[in-house]
Each structure stands twice: as C-alpha cells, then as structure tokens.
Amino acid sequence: MNGALSFHDLTVGYGGEPVLHHVTFALEPGEIVALLGANGAGKTTLLRTLAGFVRPRSGTIRLDGDDLARLSPEDRARRGIAQVPEGRSVVAELTVDENLRLGSLWRHRGRARDVAVAEVYELFEPLARRRASDGHQLSGGERQMLALGRALVSRPRVLTLDEPSLGLAPLVVAQLMATLRDAAARDGMTVLLAEQNITSALSIAGRGVVLDLGRVVADAAASALADDTALRHAYLGF
C-alpha cells in the first residue's frame, strides 16, 4: 500500500505573519479527508505547500515516510501527487480529448495513454459524449469534471482538490463527489479535499480536518464533525 501522507508541525507564511501554524495531521493510504474552514483559513496554502509551490518555514511533509522538503514541484508530481486547483483550469482552445491527453503526457505513452483516457471516459459519461467539444463550450460542471479527469489520467497516489464544488449546481456537485469517491476507491488513491461546501465534502470523506486562522481546531470522523453543533457554529458557519 502507498499514498500515506503526513503533515508535521508545519508553519507557513508569505513574508509577514505565518498563515499556517504548527499544522499536524495525517492521511492513511486510500483515505479521503475533507479539509474544512472559512475563507482565508489556509486551505489553499496547505495544498500549495504540499505541491511544492510554497516553502514551509518549519515542519515536514512526508509521503510514504519520505520527507518532501528537497523535492521540486515536478519531482512531487512524479512521486504521484496531483492537484486540481481552484478555478477549473482547462485549456479552452483544446478539445476534451486533447485536454485529457495533456494530463497523461509525461506518465503514459501510446496505448497506455489511450487506456488512461478511456478510463476517465468510463468514470465521466458526460465527458465521453463531449470528447470532441472545445473546453470553452463546456458547462461549469463539465469543466470541473475535465479538470478532475485530467488529474486522474496520471493515476496519482495522492490527489488534492481545491473547492471543486464552487459555483456548481447541487446535483452536479453530487455527481462530481460520487465520481471522485469511485475513482479513489478504484485506484486506492489518497484524497485531500479542500471545501467550503462542508455537507458535500463530508458526504464522501471518512474524516475532516478543520482549520481556523491557520490552526487545526478539529480532526475527527466525518460523522462526528457533522454532529458537533458547537464546532459547526464556531468554525464552519452552519
């Protein structure tokens, strides 16, 4: 088994005061963890630090026991850490198929690439129907599926997603979450899902970690978080 990810005593800032303070939590291989918290809590910063875009001031991140500190963003991608950043970034001028192939460029060649792309179409039927459409012709939900599909073709061990539900209709969000859960189960992928849409994140996550002003204020089973009224009121706004 692989895909065990841990954050230990991580402090991160952009120059002034740190925006993450001594963040410590871990994900078991194949686990889906929701990273929750209000706007500005530090969710995006944590995902960007994992990707290697931001250097921590102190603390460590380990993947399967290996410290990632010295690894470039490219090295981390090669180790199997993939991201779906906020904003459904797909190439508007390319077709769905071309966008997906782009995602598998460095990982697969020839037939292996065809197989990887075909697997994504199996997961996302709407994408299969629109494979020849350009990115700019897609709906918001289809663009988010494509952004997720493009990350999946590289068969990541660890996948992070930053607010994938933002701006999508509830039905589309439900479909997206179900597909993410299926993909994670199929591949044994470890998933860190940053969301403000707590209900949908907790619907597929086994556990949730709540950040408030850059500190971990809760780390518990999804069901326990959903039932904790005081915590929900204090940090999650519902």
Positions in the binding site for ligand ATP (CB under 6 A) = 14, 19, 37, 39-45
In degrees and rounded to multiples of 5, residue 95 shows phi and psi of -75, 170
Q: Between 30 and 37, whose beta carbon lies closer to ligand ATP?
A: 37
Question: Of the two residues 22 and 131, which places its CB atom closer to ligand ATP in the complex?
Answer: 22
Assign residue 106 a region (left: φ > 0; alpha: ψ between -120 and 50; beta: otherwise). Answer: alpha
- What is the distance between the alpha carbons of residues 192 and 33, in angstroms, rounded to a whole number? 5
**CB neighbourhood size of 10 (10 A):** 25
Phi-psi region of 153 (alpha: psi -120 to 50; beta: other; left: phi over 0): alpha
Residue 144 CB, shortest distance to ligand ATP, in Å, is: 16
**Distance between CA 64 and CA 45 in Å, rounded?**
22
Q: Which is nearer to ligand ATP, 187 or 212 (CB)?
A: 212
Q: How far is the CB of 219 from ligand ATP (least distance, A)?
A: 16
| Closer residue to ligand ATP, CB minimum distance, 28 or 86 | 86
| Nearest distance in Å: CB 81, ligand ATP | 18
Q: Which is nearer to ligand ATP, 81 or 123 (CB)?
A: 81
CB of 77 to ligand ATP, least distance (A): 20
Cα–Cα dist 171/183, whole Å: 18
As measured in angstroms, the least distance from the Cβ of 177 to ligand ATP is 18
